[in-house]
Amino acid sequence: MEQLLLGLVLVATCAYAFLNGFRDVSNSVAAAVRTRSLTPTIAVVVAAFFAFVGTMLSQAFGAYLVSAVELNVPAHSLGLAILLAGLVAAGGWGLFCWWRGIPVSSTHAVISALAGASGASALLGGDGVHDALRMLLLGVVAPLLLTPLVAYGLSFALVAPATWLARHSSSDDVNTWGRAAQSISACAVSLGHGLQDGQRTGALLTLALVAGNVVQPGTYPLAAQLTGGFFLAAGALFGGWRISHTLAYRLVTIDALRGATAQSVSASMLFFGAMVMHLPLSTTQAVTSAIVGAGANQRFESVMWRNVLRVLSYWFAAPVTCVVLGGMLFLALSPLLGG
């Protein structure tokens, strides 16, 4: 049974990475496509390439996640069942939100679902992920409250100096330079996406291998990192244009200059979170909030606040929904563990 569970967890993790790339490619390139800085085809290829490069760029963040979490995940079948329930629950929530065209955080979904599965395990008298509540608070609740505010505020504030620097330029020149800057910043966001989500997938694969007693604790195999990057990039190549349409057309009206500002802010946050603070940040929330913040700093009303509030409602519903789903799926799997 343990080998079967290990195989299912590895498949579920790869599927989660594919879905992550499929959905979150929109975060990297939606604004650039909206302002015609990049064509859709080039944008998707660029997003896939830099997401893979970001995943392979460094092992530091993935190794940190493994060292911070692996000692808290139960070994053998119990730990594998918790991982499987969490991954399936997070993937199901992600598919539902993709179908609805809503950009939501894959990070928050999987952490919340793992916490829910852990709680269900404890309810049945088994071990769970130790410090699951702390993981939920620091990995979901705190970033959910802080990331949108920081991204929105920085983007809103930086529009003023950006427009001041362009005050003597013609509109054509501003659009030309803005599109060039936005093309570069879209690559940077994709790179940050790989640093965050790609290495997180590699960490999940490593945790499964440790729980299944395939690799020793304290290691972060290159194969896990490579696999995470491959499936993240493969998902990005297929593109998730439902969510891209929401980001580009249903939240805010934005030009190339503001798009470049928003993407530069979100990319900087992803780099800083992964490489300096070792903090898992939501690419979705950073990019979406930055786009809304940059678009809000205009002389005319450009933000469609009704749609923004709808997206926010999904962000706040995600932790509760995924905790419940993760717990229910673990309870469904528990009879297979044989006590």
Interval 203-214: pLDDT, tens: 888 888 888 878
Using CA atoms, how far residue 182 sits from 99, 137, 178, in Å, is 28, 34, 6
Using CA atoms, how far residue 174 sits from 19, 252, 298, in Å, is 36, 19, 15
Instruction: Return the higher-pLDDT residue of 337 and 162.
Output: 162
Per-residue tokens: 281: 């940040």
Identify whether the C-beta of residue 223 lies closer than 8 Å to the C-beta of residue 31: no
Identify whether the C-beta of residue 116 lies closer than 8 Å to the C-beta of residue 93: no
pTM score: 0.87
- Residue 182 pLDDT exceeds 90: no
Contact partners, residue 91, CB within 8 Å, separation at least 6:
12, 15, 16, 19
- Residue 44 pLDDT exceeds 60: yes
Enumerate the H helices of 194-304 as residue ranges: 199-211, 222-238, 241-245, 256-271, 283-296
> In this predicted model, what pLDDT tens digit does every residue of 58-97 receive, in sequence order?
666 666 666 655 446 666 788 889 899 999 999 999 999 8
Helix (H, G, I), strand (E, B) or coil at 303: strand
Tell me the pLDDT band of 242, cut-offs 50, 70 and 90: low
Helix axis angle, 283-296 relative to 2-34, nearest 10°?
A: 20
Closest residue by Cα to residue 197 from 253, 292, 270: 270
- Chain centroid to Cα 132, Å, comes to 20
